[in-house]
Structure 1
């Protein structure tokens, strides 16, 4: 099953299934968020109700991001990506021992999610980049617990998968991460998701003997193939990412968990690190990034004009005194 959100020529938003080449609204006016919360078995029952209904042709609507995420965690689960990007940062290709110990992630901005074909408007930067990822979407009714899930419980919590493009401003990201925190403004301006959510049951034939999702992922810039990889080259399968995210925390329906960038050219920064030069060049206004993932479909993201934000002053050098000076005392 494919689940999507869309808008029509009037701007009205629809939410439902993609059946063939048409979109069909959920029964009873349900939303994607409500269907996710009800879980995969209920989605299958709802799909059976509308499978033969007349829909609206896909060509007559504009697809939106397939959900409004409750949260977005993005992992760094591909060893090959870490090798290349580390070289682009400091000239030394390495994977630190800590990477192998646990699947590290960061939280990013659910309020700047973009849909298929929606242009990203980066900050003023010299190094706009894409990141080719697959994301798991969490659903409900997999059990009463949302915290400290086992991998098997986490597997049941995965409702489906979508394509993720984690847009990046690499120069901003590099600066802020030298402070040993982040990424922040190098990332949070845009995250593309789509074109729809494909339910987890559709991927059973693609699981290898170790439980990894052996699907091919490709990325093109202006129709030139830049990178391709198998998603099964992750260091951990998706259920283990979900289980780790739930440790001493919670995962809830509508949470999105990105795989992290694939290897073998899943982003430009990896190639810059391996080649020692900005080749291919950073993205520029007018470029189009197209991601194709087996079993899911295609996600297209144009690069729009940069947006200049208001300037802020640098940090002030303060005295570090611990008591107010006499002149600073507040009158009673």
Structure 2
């Protein structure tokens, strides 16, 4: 995990209600890039630089600036749920069965598991998304789907905050996700190593939940991914390098966003979009829990249109 105490940021190992910290300047990004995570973990247990009570520290995102972030769409029922809420045909085009979709996300927008999250400027349709992020430990290229998961060092909860009204513009422009996904990505509270999480995944007991103001929005299982992490990583690495520390999102657990719960013909009339003061929590078996307060948006500085500048 990554935490701040006495104005110093450290990487450490969570030990129940306490944190065993490594030397100042040791980041999780560095440990992954140098292949020294396991050794550092042993050092934290054997001879920590400090030991603090968890309640005394500020928990940050485990990876504050990963080298890259990609977000997949591996739960196809999430897409069907969005289509259903929007009154669209839920029979997905055949292209969705050929390969897992993904897009590049904003690695500079990472926030911690208990940080406040402002609504994206200009948005009135702000949403959450319940996901799991896989973190690459060993780099690779052209990975085989049967062995690609061997490159995952661990997992973390991932909230893909989304401005749905901005997404309408992104989709109309047709070159991919942009301002709709630019505001914030939550990672945390810790990086849970693959071996620690494996018993829950193997037994199908990795349950994921999202709630708003204490009311459960959805409950699902990681095992219900249509595209596995191995298949997603194989596709992502096809002709491309995956580097240590890269984060790959699972895509949204079905029902794990407000868009799937829209109950009005015009999504803009839906009263459930996130508002300042709302408290959003994600939780996962073995992964912990996030808890974040939504805050007001900054004012959106207007732009002149190209048409206005040309006088048309």
Q: Under a length normalisation based on structure 1, what TM-score does the superposition of the two structures give?
A: 0.85
Which of residues 112, 116, 132 in structure 2 aligns to 1:115?
Answer: 112
Superposed displacement of residue 272, structure 1? 1.4
Superposed displacement of residue 147, structure 1? 1.3
Structure 1 counterpart SS, 2:117: coil
1:86/1:273 contact within 8 Å kept: no
CA-to-aligned-CA distance 1:136-182 (integer Å, 9 cap, x gap):
00013xxxx62111124421110000000000111110122022222
Superposed displacement of residue 275, structure 1? 9.0
Structure 2 counterpart SS, 1:55: strand
Name the counterpart of 1:77: 74
Which of residues 214, 217, 221 in structure 2 aligns to 1:230?
Answer: 221
Name the counterpart of 1:95: 92
Structure 2 counterpart SS, 1:59: helix
1:151/1:239 contact within 8 Å kept: yes
Name the counterpart of 1:271: 261
Counterpart-to-counterpart distance in 1, 2:166 and 2:26: 40
Which of residues 13, 18, 27 in structure 1 aligns to 2:14?
Answer: 18
Structure 2 counterpart SS, 1:207: helix
Is residue 304 from structure 1 mapped to residue 292 from structure 2 by the alignment? Answer: no
> Larger Rg: 1 or 2?
1
Name the counterpart of 1:55: 51
1:85/1:273 contact within 8 Å kept: no
Q: Structure 1 residues 88 and 80, CA, compared in 2 at 3 Å: closer, same or farther? A: same
Name the counterpart of 1:221: 212
Name the counterpart of 2:163: 169
Name the counterpart of 1:33: 29
Unaligned runs of at least 5 residues, structure 2: none
Name the counterpart of 2:133: 135
* Residue range with higher mean Cα deviation, 181-190 or 21-30: 21-30
Q: Name the structure with the higher strand share.
A: 2
Q: Structure 1 residues 275 and 132, CA, compared in 2 at 3 Å: closer, same or farther? A: farther
Which of residues 57, 65, 69 in structure 1 aligns to 2:61?
Answer: 65
Structure 2 counterpart SS, 1:51: helix
Counterpart-to-counterpart distance in 2, 1:223 and 1:134: 20
CA-to-aligned-CA distance 1:202-259 (integer Å, 9 cap, x gap):
12223348xxx65100011000011111111111211221111111111101100000
Superposed displacement of residue 62, structure 1? 0.4
1:220/1:289 contact within 8 Å kept: yes
Unaligned runs of at least 5 residues, structure 1: 320-332
Structure 2 counterpart SS, 1:91: coil
Superposed displacement of residue 317, structure 1? 8.4
Superposed displacement of residue 34, structure 1? 1.9
**Alpha carbon RMSD of aligned pairs, Å?**
2.4
Is residue 106 from structure 1 mapped to residue 103 from structure 2 by the alignment? Answer: yes
Superposed displacement of residue 27, structure 1? 5.6
How many pairs does the alignment contain? 305
Counterpart-to-counterpart distance in 1, 2:113 and 2:24: 26
Counterpart-to-counterpart distance in 2, 1:99 and 1:107: 18
2:86/2:262 contact within 8 Å kept: no
Q: Structure 1 residues 78 and 275, CA, compared in 2 at 3 Å: closer, same or farther? A: farther
